[in-house]
């Protein structure tokens, strides 16, 4: 795959386990993602246009890396409530700004909020961007505990509620219009962008992509494995096998050798040392996005694609199961199913086709790598199959209903025919006049019912069917 580079060529390249606090991180970004599904029938792109959110209009924005017509909406950061105290405590911070998040969508009822948490020693970045201020550089163990805590049920539930509340307020929707919100598991993105605190490292030097990634292979492997709780305490990540380290770090991706990107099913990790405040573009992106990595930008859109495919797949399986229990379906309901299917098919096309909207080959390659690590092809095949089945089954149920209604109408018409044949219209008209003269009200009432009731039923059936 283009832009992939061998960091470790064989098992013998894995270095000896280091001291647990060798790598000291003075600045990094951790991005966690929450998925939101709006009430069916709502389109986030319309809410985005009508609400208070804005896109980042600048030639340094990541939107410049996407061709026109992608359908991507990526908002500027907006407030997302306070930082949970437990997150500040785990990194020893006594000063943390409020949280901010960006809304990311390709239209339809699905939105992902990307919530970046900047952790940094006081300096230019903390003056420009909302950050969790550190009192000392982070060791690998501490950063692992921080990332893991984001998945703690109580913390993730609190952050999810804050995220949904802020999103609804920003686009002017009632909170109830966000039907469901959940943490996207295995979606963390990490960018290490300041290694000034690392011992025996020239602080002014750029990150040596291949050489330093090989040197810090144990730490990189640990961060990529944040979802494995066995590695979180007492430096247990140093007791894993060299084979495991080799499997995680043997291949990275880079465009220049001043950084290195690693991807697995649960994490996108970029190792770099700018330091960020030496580059105006980097400082701008850290302030506006919460990270300075086009790889994390691509990863985030990949998260959106994943939740759209996974959630639609589950929903269409449920729709198909519900239809299997039905005998008939109303025309209005079948028409709604068809309209939703067309809208969802268009959304899936935008998700799947987004890679080709990326201008740079390195970003397309990263997206390919992401899909290879966490395949969606099988989910897509099943989803498309179930969407087609839903259409076929709903049309069959509609035909059954139409046949039943036709039989019912035919029966009513037959009853009317029999009544009219019995009473014989000319004689009936003459008889009606005689009954009126004779004030034979009961006979008139029965005769009226025999004609009016079937006509009323036919008219009601016709109106109901046209709904």
**What whole-number distance in Å separates Cα of residue 39 and Cα of residue 321?**
21
**Which of these three, 304, 336, 351, is where a domain ends?**
304
Q: Which value, in Å, is the radius of gyration of the alpha carbons in the chain?
A: 32
313 and 257 within one domain: no
pLDDT for the residue numbered 229: 75
Domain's final residue, options 259, 274, 304: 304
Polymer length of the chain = 467
Q: Say if residues 303 and 112 touch (Cβ distance below 8 Å).
A: yes
* Domain count along the chain: 3
Residues 291 and 386 in one domain: no
Contacts 24+ apart (CB under 8 A), 225-228: 226/144, 226/147, 226/148, 226/188, 226/190, 226/266, 226/267, 227/148, 227/151, 227/185, 227/186, 227/266, 227/267
Q: Are residues 98 and 157 in the same domain?
A: yes
Judge if 178 and 247 occupy the same domain. yes
Place of tokens 């894993």: 240
Instruction: For residues 367 and 352, give the distance between their C-alpha atoms in angstroms, rounded to a whole number.
Output: 11
Among 288, 304, 320, the domain-final residue is 304
Residues 261 and 113 occupy one common structural domain? yes
Helix (H, G, I), strand (E, B) or coil at 289: coil
44 and 189 belong to one structural domain: yes
208, 327: one domain: no
Q: Which of 272, 103, 261, 298 has its CA nearest to residue 193?
A: 272
C-beta of residue 252 within 8 angstroms of C-beta of residue 209: yes
350 and 450 housed in the same domain:
no
Q: State how far the Cα of 348 lies from the Cα of 329, in Å rounded to an integer.
A: 26
Burial (CB < 10 A; 0-12, 13-18, 19+), residue 436, is exposed
Mark whether 176 and 324 lie in a shared domain: no
- Predicted confidence pLDDT, tens digits, the chain (467 residues): 567 899 999 999 999 999 999 999 999 999 999 999 999 989 999 999 888 899 999 999 999 999 999 999 999 999 999 999 999 999 999 877 899 999 999 999 999 999 999 999 998 888 888 899 999 999 999 999 999 999 999 999 999 999 999 999 999 999 999 999 999 999 999 999 999 999 888 777 888 889 999 999 999 999 999 988 776 776 789 999 999 999 999 999 998 888 999 999 999 999 998 765 567 888 899 999 999 999 999 999 999 999 999 999 999 999 999 888 888 888 888 888 999 999 999 999 999 999 999 999 999 999 999 999 988 888 999 999 999 999 888 887 877 766 766 666 656 566 556 555 555 545 555 556 666 666 666 755 666 666 666 666 666 666 665 55
Which residue is it, tokens 């269409």? 316
Find the domain containing 382 and state its range.
Answer: 305-397
* Shared domain check, 272 and 149: yes
Q: Which two tokens stand for residue 230?
A: 């066995």
Asked whether residue 159 falls in the same domain as residue 227, the answer is yes
Handedness of CA 148, 149, 154, 155 (dihedral sign): negative
Kindly state whether residues 16 and 143 are assigned to the same domain. yes
User: For residues 455 and 416, is the Cβ–Cβ distance under 8 A?
Assistant: yes
Q: 205 and 61 in contact (C-beta within 8 Å)?
A: no
Residue 350 CB burial class (10 angstroms; 0-12, 13-18, ≥19)? buried
> In angstroms, rounded to a whole number, what is the distance separating the alpha carbons of residues 108 and 44?
6
């Amino acid at each position: 795959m283009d832009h992939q580079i061998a960091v470790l060529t064989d098992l013998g390249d894995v270095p000896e386990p280091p001291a647990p606090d060798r790598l000291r991180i003075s600045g990094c970004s951790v991005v966690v993602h929450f998925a939101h599904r709006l009430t069916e029938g709502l389109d986030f792109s319309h809410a985005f246009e009508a609400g208070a959110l804005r896109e980042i209009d600048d030639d340094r924005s990541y939107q410049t890396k996407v061709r026109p017509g992608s359908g991507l909406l990526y908002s500027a950061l907006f407030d997302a409530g306070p930082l949970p105290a437990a997150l500040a405590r785990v990194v020893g911070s006594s000063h943390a700004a409020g949280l901010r998040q960006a809304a990311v969508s390709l239209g339809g009822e699905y939105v992902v909020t990307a919530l970046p948490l900047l952790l940094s020693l006081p300096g230019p970045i903390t003056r420009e961007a909302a950050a969790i201020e550190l009192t000392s550089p982070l060791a690998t163990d501490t950063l692992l505990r921080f990332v893991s805590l984001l998945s703690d049920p109580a913390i993730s539930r609190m952050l999810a509620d804050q995220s949904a509340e802020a999103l609804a307020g920003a686009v002017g929707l009632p909170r109830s219009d966000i039907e469901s919100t959940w943490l996207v598991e295995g979606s963390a993105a990490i960018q290490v962008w300041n290694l000034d605190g690392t011992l025996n490292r020239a602080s002014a030097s750029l990150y040596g992509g291949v050489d330093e990634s090989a040197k810090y292979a144990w730490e990189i492997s640990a961060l990529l494995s944040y979802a494995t709780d066995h590695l979180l305490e007492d430096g247990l990540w140093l007791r894993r096998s060299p084979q495991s380290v080799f499997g995680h770090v043997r291949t990275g991706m880079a465009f220049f050798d001043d950084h290195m990107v690693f991807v697995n099913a649960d994490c996108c990790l970029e190792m770099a040392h700018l330091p960020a405040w030496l580059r105006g573009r980097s400082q701008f992106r850290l302030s506006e996005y919460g990270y300075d990595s086009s790889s994390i930008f691509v990863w985030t859109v990949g998260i959106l694609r994943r939740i759209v495919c996974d959630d639609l797949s589950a929903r269409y399986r449920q729709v198909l199961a519900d239809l299997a229990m039905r005998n008939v379906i109303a025309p209005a309901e079948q028409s709604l199913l068809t309209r939703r299917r067309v809208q969802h098919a268009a959304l899936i096309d935008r998700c799947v086709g987004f890679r080709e909207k990326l201008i740079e080959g390195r970003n397309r390659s990263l997206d390919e790598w992401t899909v290879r690590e966490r395949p969606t092809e099988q989910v897509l095949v099943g989803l498309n199959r179930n969407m087609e089945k839903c259409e076929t089954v709903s049309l069959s149920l509609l035909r059954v209903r139409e046949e039943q209604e036709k039989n019912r109408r035919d029966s009513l018409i037959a009853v009317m025919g029999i009544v009219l044949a019995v009473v014989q219209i000319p004689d009936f008209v003459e008889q009606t006049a005689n009954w009126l003269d004779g004030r034979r009200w009961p006979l008139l009432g029965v005769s009226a019912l025999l004609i009016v009731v079937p006509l009323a039923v036919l008219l009601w059936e016709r109106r109901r069917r046209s709904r």
